[in-house]
Amino acid sequence: MVEPRSCSPQLPVPCGPLSGTVVGALRRAQSPLDPPQVSVEEADQYGRDLQLALYVLYELHYQGFEDVEAEREWEPQLLALRGELERRFLGALRADAAPEADAEGTLSDLLVETAGFDATSVSHHLRRDGELWQFREYAAMRSLYHLKEADPHAWVIPRLHGRAKAAMVAVEYDEFGAGRAEDVHARLFAELMADLGLEPAYGHYLDAAPAQVLATVNVMSLFGLHRSLRGALVGHFATVEATSSPGSRRLADALRRLGAGPAAQRFYDEHVEADAVHEQVVRRDVVGGLLETDPDLDADVAFGVNATTFVEERLAELLLGRWRQGRSALRLPLPD
């Protein structure tokens, strides 16, 4: 299989004035940024127009886009617009996902499945009732993150020190294949996609992704690119690791029930045992080590946990609502 990130994706189709401004500017080699036709403050903070504009600007720091010069990553006008979009998005998250407990209490709550949780959980649905077309949609959406899995979290490494840094690097080492290119988790997900008959090229399903998917990826980039939000990124990382093992077990069971191939099953099987260990390391040494030296970041870590849960619950509501009606959750249909 060709390396999924060997080529940069094409720019997406804009869906409104904000994304149109960003995509239009990037399609032109060098020209002033046209002012958006609407104020950022008037835009829906969770709407697809704002989320797509933000996603595209963030992607300049990852793989970039075909025919877009790498230097545009630091173009002042684009950065200024990104700052406006970030303030709108972050302000909404702080209002909707404000922590009610400290970091330890917030993380502990993640490990308790409340009554009715299985009815609102995507992994429970896919294991019990999911159909193959639904899992293919799920994989297509998640590819926007999993094909760059662990990259957003790596930005926090230079901002940590001591026990927290050592533990963070140890976990990331596993995410990046423990030195083996064939075991890099992003590579394993590309093989899962190929096994399910999906296109594993990086960024291929961006135009098909609804706003709720973009928000789950954007929140990582938002936290990762700002040193002031390092506590929130650690909270995000801890949330992912704390919930990954049981969720991955359910998704692996779903793929076996649906008759998917071994490559598809391997991605989630790999996460069951590894992330059970990672959860303990992250809570004890990454979170614990960070708060031992920077106790003032406790509320930020809790906010990162809550913000992650919030955007994931919005995505779950969309997926389960559409699938239970027999409808696609994607903006564009997948080929058979």
Q: Dump pLDDT digits (tens) for 225-236.
A: 999 999 999 999
pLDDT the model gives residue 270: 87
Same domain, 45 and 119: no
Flag whether 330 is in a domain: no
Same domain, 253 and 149: yes
Cα separations in angstroms, 179 against 142, 152, 292:
24, 19, 30
Q: Count up the domains in the chain and report the number.
A: 2
Same domain, 127 and 207: yes
Count the Cβ atoms, other than its own, within 10 Å of residue 287.
26
Same domain, 82 and 125: no
Flag whether 334 is in a domain: no
End-to-end CA distance of the chain: 20
Count the Cβ atoms, other than its own, within 10 Å of residue 215.
27
Flag whether 8 is in a domain: no
**End-of-domain residue from the set 80, 95, 110:** 95
Same domain, 78 and 106: no
Question: Structure pTM?
Answer: 0.95
Same domain, 81 and 122: no
Cα separations in angstroms, 132 against 126, 136, 332:
9, 6, 17
pLDDT the model gives residue 115: 47
Torsions phi, psi for 242 (to 5 deg)? -70, -30
pLDDT the model gives residue 116: 55
Cα separations in angstroms, 270 against 127, 277, 309, 310:
17, 12, 23, 26
pLDDT tens per residue across span 243-301? 888 999 999 999 999 999 998 889 999 888 776 778 889 999 999 999 999 999 999 99
Same domain, 84 and 106: no
pLDDT tens per residue across span 90-145? 999 999 999 988 999 999 888 776 545 677 899 999 999 999 999 999 999 999 99
One-character DSSP codes across 6-32: SSPPPPPPP-SHHHHHHHHHHHSSS-P
Same domain, 254 and 128: yes
CA atoms in the 13 A half-sphere facing the CB of 110: 30
Torsions phi, psi for 32 (to 5 deg)? -60, 150
Flag whether 10 is in a domain: no
Flag whether 236 is in a domain: yes
Query: What residue numbers bound the domain in which 143 lies?
Result: 101-323
Flag whether 150 is in a domain: yes
Same domain, 182 and 265: yes
Same domain, 76 and 198: no
**End-of-domain residue from the set 39, 61, 95:** 95
Mean pLDDT of the chain: 93
Q: Which of 226, 202, 215, 204 lies closest to 52 in space, CA to CA?
A: 215
Q: Which of 269, 153, 157, 264 lies closest to 217 in space, CA to CA?
A: 153
Same domain, 59 and 125: no
Same domain, 122 and 89: no
Flag whether 147 is in a domain: yes
CATH number at residue 203: 1.20.910.10
Count the Cβ atoms, other than its own, within 10 Å of residue 120.
13
Reported confidence tier of residue 194, pLDDT bands at 50, 70, 90: very high
pLDDT tens per residue across span 138-181? 999 999 999 999 999 999 999 999 999 999 999 999 999 999 99
pLDDT tens per residue across span 49-91? 999 999 999 999 999 999 999 999 999 999 999 999 999 999 9
pLDDT the model gives residue 302: 97
Count the Cβ atoms, other than its own, within 10 Å of residue 284.
12
Is it the case that residue 29 has pLDDT exceeding 70?
A: yes
pLDDT the model gives residue 5: 76
Flag whether 328 is in a domain: no
Is it the case that residue 32 has pLDDT exceeding 90?
A: no
**End-of-domain residue from the set 37, 66, 95:** 95
